[in-house]
């Protein structure tokens, strides 16, 4: 048993309603909460005003004023440069945010996983592009089901063997799957080599009756965090030149390609000037984080084009040493994947250090104010994507008031 027959047997087609059953759009079930947290969400649901001081800690806060300014700035940038915007939802995993991005002019949303795509689809988000290869029966079957619901859904391919598997799955599911050729921008993570290999893959895809070739995907994660604007620009231009050239050859050969997607928050003001790139899959700009601040901007040493809208609220749980305050926020409250650490807002002369799963050690070599037991300190997060992934919901603030919450509905499945 192989090919289409295999898929039909292994994955009997289910109505999309059944597949989406657990995607309730009521707010609470997607934000499972316990204890006093449940009471808090109920109060927010009923519109009761809640003050920041009432929140449990650690809590993940989204400053709506800063968030909205970030959305507007990126949308304005895209319009000004006549480049498409399909922001990456891996950053937030949150249908409410994707909806606002689309309202601000985005073409849809990128996702890294099939689960994120399903969650966004259930939230009514159109124009989905899954930027990872959907390999294996489980993912292909889900991609087919999602495409039946939203025929414009796209995913990526870097191997003709995988393209054939997708074609079989599409035939079994009686859909056509939209694909982009994934070209490696010298990162060796995924993607076929630019030039002859990518061109041959595109030719192979065109021979498969159930696949629609839509264009090229080439995302350079390595460019995004190059320190220094000039260095970052040089890096992106170097690694994107071969995919761009390959895309041009595909067009010249008459292939029906119309999308060349890439670009990060780090290169949002670089890649629109590279010929042929048709859309940006920027993600982090909605939240910002320490990792991006330290790469430097076009105009100075700090990248401050977008504002740090995402913070974690913590409590000083122990204060027994002159030079140290222990916080209730550690490796389960902040991402630990890079060198950068959380940065406290409004106090200088301190440095955060991880102190365990649930502890942070705020070193106080020269604090600009006294820090006491019970103080509530707010931190800009080190890396936004995996930090958001640690929380069930974003608490929405304007100033000192909490206005509501958005579930991080796509979390818990990588």
**Of 35-43, 76-84, 267-275, 300-308: span binding a copy of itself (CB under 8 A):** 35-43
Give DSSP secondary structure letters for 153-204: -EEEE--HHHHHHHHHHHHHHT--EEEEEEB--S-SSS-BPTTHHHHHHHHH
96 binds a copy of itself (CB under 8 A): no
155 binds a copy of itself (CB under 8 A): no
Smallest separation, CB 263 to a copy of itself (Å): 16
- C-alpha distances out from residue 10 to 1, 165, 172, 269, 408, Å: 10, 14, 10, 46, 31
Q: How far apart are CA 34 and CA 28, in angstroms?
A: 11
Residue with Cβ nearer a copy of itself (120 or 309): 120
Residue with Cβ nearer a copy of itself (57 or 212): 57
Closest C-alpha among 91, 79, 171, 82 to residue 131? 91
57 binds a copy of itself (CB under 8 A): yes
**Of 72-80, 130-138, 243-251, 255-263: span binding a copy of itself (CB under 8 A):** 130-138
* Contact assessment for residue 181 and residue 256, using Cβ atoms and an 8 Å cutoff: no
326 binds a copy of itself (CB under 8 A): yes
58 binds a copy of itself (CB under 8 A): yes
Dihedral angle, C-alpha 346, 315, 349, 322, nearest 10 °: 140
* Contact assessment for residue 344 and residue 298, using Cβ atoms and an 8 Å cutoff: no
Tokens of 278: 């048709």
Residue with Cβ nearer a copy of itself (38 or 196): 38
127 binds a copy of itself (CB under 8 A): no
Residues 327-346 binding a copy of itself (CB under 8 A) are 328-333, 335-337
CA 129 to chain centre: 12
Site string for a copy of itself, 285-324 (x = CB under 8 A): ------------------------------xxxxxxx--x
Residues 340-379 binding a copy of itself (CB under 8 A) are 354-359, 361, 373-374, 376
401 binds a copy of itself (CB under 8 A): no
Residues 6+ apart with CB under 8 A from 103: none
141 binds a copy of itself (CB under 8 A): yes
Smallest separation, CB 39 to a copy of itself (Å): 6
Smallest separation, CB 275 to a copy of itself (Å): 27
Q: How far apart are CA 180 and CA 205, in angstroms?
A: 10
258 binds a copy of itself (CB under 8 A): no
- Total residues contacting a copy of itself by CB under 8 A comes to 99
Residue from 6, 8, 13, 37 that binds a copy of itself (CB under 8 A)?
Answer: 37
DSSP category for residue 50: E
259 binds a copy of itself (CB under 8 A): no
224 prior amide bond cis, ω within 30: no
CA 161 to chain centre: 28
């Amino acid at each position: 048993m192989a090919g289409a027959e295999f898929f039909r047997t292994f994955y009997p087609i289910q109505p999309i309603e059944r597949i989406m059953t657990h995607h309730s759009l009521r707010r609470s079930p997607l934000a499972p909460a316990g204890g006093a947290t449940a009471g808090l969400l109920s109060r927010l649901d009923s519109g009761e005003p809640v003050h920041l001081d009432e929140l449990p800690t650690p809590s993940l806060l989204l400053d709506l004023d800063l968030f909205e300014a970030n959305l507007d700035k990126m949308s304005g940038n895209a319009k000004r440069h006549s480049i498409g915007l399909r922001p990456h939802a891996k950053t937030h995993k949150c249908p409410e945010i994707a909806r606002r991005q689309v309202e601000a002019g985005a073409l849809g949303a990128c996702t890294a996983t099939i689960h994120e795509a399903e969650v966004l689809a259930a939230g009514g988000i159109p124009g989905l592009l899954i930027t990872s290869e959907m390999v294996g029966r489980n993912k292909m079957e889900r991609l087919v089901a999602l495409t039946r619901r939203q025929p414009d859904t796209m995913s990526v391919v870097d191997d003709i063997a995988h393209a054939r598997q997708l074609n079989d799955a599409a035939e079994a599911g009686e859909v056509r799957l939209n694909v982009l050729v994934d070209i490696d921008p010298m990162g060796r993570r995924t993607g076929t080599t630019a030039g002859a290999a990518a061109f041959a893959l595109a030719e192979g895809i065109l021979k498969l009756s159930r696949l629609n070739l839509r264009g090229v995907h080439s995302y350079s994660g390595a460019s995004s965090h190059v320190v220094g604007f000039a260095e970052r620009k040089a890096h992106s231009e170097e690694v994107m030149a071969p995919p761009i050239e390959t895309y041009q050859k595909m067009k010249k050969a008459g292939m029906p390609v119309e999308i060349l997607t890439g670009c990060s928050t780090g290169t949002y003001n670089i890649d629109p000037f590279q010929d042929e790139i048709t859309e940006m899959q920027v993600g982090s700009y909605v939240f910002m984080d320490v990792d991006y601040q330290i790469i430097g901007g076009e105009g100075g040493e700090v990248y401050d084009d977008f504002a740090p809208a995402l913070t974690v609220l913590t409590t000083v749980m122990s204060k027994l040493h002159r030079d140290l305050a222990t916080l209730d926020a550690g490796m389960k409250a902040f991402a630990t994947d890079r060198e950068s650490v959380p940065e406290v807002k409004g106090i200088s002369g301190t440095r955060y250090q991880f102190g365990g799963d649930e502890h942070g050690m705020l070193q106080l070599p020269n604090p600009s104010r006294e820090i006491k037991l019970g103080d509530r300190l707010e931190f800009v997060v080190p890396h936004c994507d995996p930090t958001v992934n640690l929380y069930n919901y974003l608490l929405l603030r304007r100033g000192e008031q909490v206005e509501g919450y958005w579930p991080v509905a796509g979390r818990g499945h990588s």
